[in-house]
Structure 1
Amino acid sequence: MKLSKRKARVLHSAIDAWEKSAQITPEQAQQLRQSYQIVGFDWRLLAVYSFWIAISSLIIAVGVLLADDYLLALLAQIIDTPASVLALLSAIIAATCYILGTRRRAQYPEKNISNEATFFFGVFMTAVTAAFLRETSWIGYRYDAQLLLLLTLVYGILGIRLSSILIWLFALISFGAWEVVQTHDLASPEGYFLGMNQALRFIFVGIAVLIVSQFAKRQARYQYLSEPTLFVGLLYLLSALWLLSIFGNYADATVWADIPQVTLLPWSILAGLICLGVLYIGIRFDSPLCRSFGITFLLINLYTRFFEYFWESMHKTIFFAILALSFWLLGTKAEKLWQLGQELQSESHKH
């Protein structure tokens, strides 16, 4: 068994503790020590980072491609092929990537990272297909929201059918993008839809994704989708609340600029209470994801309020001194909690 230096130290300490407490014999302890090897460099972590960098770069490429009408038109002229034919070709390439990813996963199930990366190229080509469909005369730019909804359905179905978390995550991302475009098209000239600006509207997107997460958690065949869906739902909900605590329910930047920041305090209190609620749920039901999101966004909201209310009114020396002190106290508290966790872990090994 190959372990990183950090994991090897933990395991070595545990074996020593078991040997000292006579839970295992010296011979068994020596046998356990010889059963693992220390890996000097975490190649798996490098592989994960490499694939994520590649995926991130391609996401940026897709975004630029979808946003740049000139680039799409130029690409069509260079290839000298109708957009409908290009859409068909890219769809075939996407389907090929999905098929190859499925076969590769069946043949090499242990290579999970590269298998998911293969699926991503299918995701990429599916988005390219939508981009070329947008260039056709029979669809055009009038149906951007419908194309995003179609992408959501395609990614969602493929994510479930292929049991791919990566494809499913893109379904959730496409769903969020669809809501933004759809409600923007239906919004009033002032930017409101049903009396709500974009930040307030996006709260309901987060709630919808969280409901899907709970549904997946209760279904045995979909439980593998529950955690990533919860991640996206919390990210959508708490990010929207944070933006709402800054801008309130205002869609016009000039109107918002004339509003005293203190009038947005109710939104800040609402965001803080929901962060506390998420933190409580994480503690109550032992959910590390909820705990992490709750405490992270609670701190983000608190420091945002600090900058809003004291940046202009307080001398900068005092401002940064308080900021430094708060982070020092936060780091000290985090260190104590980490030490407590280490002590509890050591006690559990002893018993």
Structure 2
Amino acid sequence: MTIDQNGDMTVQGASLRALPKVSLHDHLDGGVRPATILELAEEAGVTAPATDAGALRRWFAAQCGAGSLPEYLKAFDLVTSVLQSKRALTRVAREFVADLAADGVVYGEVRWAPEQHLAGGLSLDDAVRAVQRGIEEGEDAADAAGHGIRVGQLLSAMRQGDRSREIAELAVRFRERGVVGFDLAGPENGFPASAHREAFDYLAAEFLPVTVHAGEAAGPGSIRSALLDGRALRLGHGVRIAEDLQVIDREGDEVQVQFGDLARWVRDREIPLELSPTSNLHTGAIAQWGDELADHPFDLLHQLGFAVTVNTDNRTMSATSLTRELALLVDAFGYDLDDLEAFQFNAASAAFLPVEEREELVEVIAEGFER
């Protein structure tokens, strides 16, 4: 891998940034530009911990590098406090799409929790419409610039709250107006997916796709609940499924593994894992395996045939992009273009889109990598 004078990374002569990518796990409030946060904070009368974008980036890095999900989540308090108006939500959604397009993303799903944006008097419906307006403005601008991109909303309910049924109904209400699925987010420990069974029953009856944060701060039990109680079609992170694998023997690149029932089910059913390497390192999700990206069980899961996808989680908090995440994986595990293409195929196949549109997305990726 080489890096050119513009900071772009090249693998086998191909620009990583130019390659078509699919982003499945990317939080709206985790991807707001630092400069935008400062401008919105001034308008809202919110005191920020820094006065310039560079210093704010460094503050986020310090806050989010503690190796703890609860500490990591505290960084969102500042961002949420400035996203309490239609104008702010529309702006950050528009910029979100622009930043994805600049990173080579052709399809993305943006997840966010409407219930956290009502302090300024917005209704849930107002908030969703504001974000959708920004998404469409961003898509139009990207298309005019020659980069086709489509972005769908995933509405997140907070697992420590009691509004999951309400958010589920909101998601179904907007399923033909930009919303493609439902997500359960927030602290895993002490807040199991089973506590939101009513919402999941409703979503299943309405045939709306569900992804659940699981296997990040909590282990296989959280994943089991996401699958059984949440009927999750994808696992938000899911990295700790590796705890249900017992490595029997390693010899060079060959590894012999004994599967637990849960891990075998996830692998054999091709349930996609929304892995976010840098974020998984920052939140301590991979602490039991080590404290370097090369310790991430990503490669083990990939080699064993799990449906791994590559994601950013929170681009601002983790100071990353999808291009950077792919570059880090290339550096850590020696992946080539075929591997990177496989990750994008996995993500395209896992997108909450009709099968015909997923097949078209696969073709776009194949053509882009062939070029």
TM normalised by structure 2 equals: 0.26
TM normalised by structure 1 equals: 0.27
Q: Between the two structures, name the one with larger relative contact order (CA 8 Å, sep ≥ 6).
A: 2
Counting helix residues as a fraction of each chain, which structure ranks higher? 1
